[in-house]
Chains A and B, each alone.
Chain A
Amino acid sequence: MTTEDLLETLAGIARDMPDPSPEMRWCLFGSALRNPVGAADFDLAIVCRADRARAVREHLAPWCLVWPLHLTILTPEEDAALGFTEGQAARQFYPVG
């Protein structure tokens, strides 16, 4: 599995999220961006409204059994205050373009 394969699969999972909200952003960061096969975990940052966080976790629960996903779910305000996705050089894979 290459990084591009992983990002494509993750983008498909993000697209399948029921009732997506317009500000939602999905990003991958950490060692899985360089080499998913040798990574100890897959670090995902999902920026969304606070009231969508539980739904995101529920949507990802089946995938957490397949991969060692490490989830950081944060609001746009938290992302701005902590500078999280920028500081982690996270790559946004959904939405793209």
Chain B
Amino acid sequence: MPHANPAQFVANGLAKHDEVAQATALDSQIVEVGRKQYPDFIVGVVSTARVDPGAIEDLVRDERVDFVCNIPREAVWSGEAIDLVKAHGKAWGGVGDLFSAAAGKEPAREFVRREYEFIERIFEQHSAVVRVERVCDRVYRLHRCAKPPVEVVLVNEYDLTADHVRTAWDRYGPFSDILANNPNCRFSSEAADAAQELGVKLLMLRPFMGRLNRQ
């Protein structure tokens, strides 16, 4: 079911945002955002289950666009698509990210989701990690000296269920680890069982950091 007008959907939501004075859909993919306190910006909108470079190429080449937004929350951004957006000096994310960018005083082009900024810094500073490779939006390959790489999926739920584990596997598998990086995360015993059945380690941040030192 293709979205009838992705830009209008996003514009309607932004118009209710506390920091937004007005949001206007210029066509089916472009939204002009006028902010109350901070500089205006332009959003390019798509709605696809998987964001590959082809889905966003026109938007990243459009000089006006500052932020590329994909509506589905349950979507995958490929590493190539993320690289393409970054290479053009633009920001990317979902509707929640866009709302956060609209609230921030920094230019919308510089927006990075706090979750990713935080975890990338932690990975890069870990003594066992020699290189951090972004495979896709929620998957990192952590290269280590004289040890096999660790391929980890970030899951940021408060309550992690077996379906979250199995959906992560369907969407991103195979991988070796799930990092439950919400500090308040609780996981069900069924989630732990599902991870074990898949041969995947399901860990919170502190044990995951320790695990990186081991084989």
A residues apposed to B, CB below 8 Å: 35, 37-41, 50, 53-54, 57, 61-75, 77-78, 81-82, 84
Task: List the 8 shortest-distance A-B pairs measured between CB atoms, nearest first.
Answer: A38-B16, A40-B96, A62-B1, A73-B163, A68-B73, A78-B188, A53-B163, A74-B161
With beta carbons under 8 angstroms apart, the residue of B9, B17, B73, B163 that contacts A70 is: B73
Q: How far is the CB of A84 from chain B (nearest CB, A)?
A: 5
Closest residue to A1 on the B side, CB-wise?
B12
Cβ contact within 8 Å between A37 and B190: no
Cβ contact within 8 Å between A82 and B167: no
Q: How far is the CB of A30 from chain B (nearest CB, A)?
A: 11
Main secondary structure of the interface of A (DSSP, over half): mixed
Residues of A within 8 A of B94 (CB): 40-41, 68
Residues of A within 8 A of B73 (CB): 41, 64, 68-70
Residues of B within 8 A of A50 (CB): 162-163, 190
Cβ contact within 8 Å between B99 and A40: yes
Contact A64 B13, CB 8 Å, known A40-B99, A78-B190, A82-B159: no
With beta carbons under 8 angstroms apart, the residue of A37, A54, A72 that contacts B16 is: A37
Residues of B within 8 A of A77 (CB): 188, 190
Tally of A-B residue pairs with Cβ under 8 A? 93
Q: B181 at interface (Cβ–Cβ under 8 A)?
A: no
Residues of B within 8 A of A74 (CB): 159, 161-163, 188
Cβ contact within 8 Å between A72 and B157: yes
Q: How far is the CA of A70 from the CA of B75 in the complex (A)?
A: 10
Closest residue to A56 on the B side, CB-wise?
B163
Residues of A within 8 A of B49 (CB): 61, 64-65
Contact A66 B161, CB 8 Å, known A35-B16, A40-B95, A41-B96: no
Cβ contact within 8 Å between A84 and B159: yes
Q: B210 at interface (Cβ–Cβ under 8 A)?
A: no
Residues of B within 8 A of A73 (CB): 161, 163, 167
Contact A78 B161, CB 8 Å, known A64-B72, A68-B96, A69-B73: yes
Q: How far is the CB of A38 from chain B (nearest CB, A)?
A: 3
Q: B166 at interface (Cβ–Cβ under 8 A)?
A: yes
Cβ contact within 8 Å between A37 and B13: yes
With most chain A CB atoms within 10 A of its CB, the pick from B16, B49, B73, B157 is B73
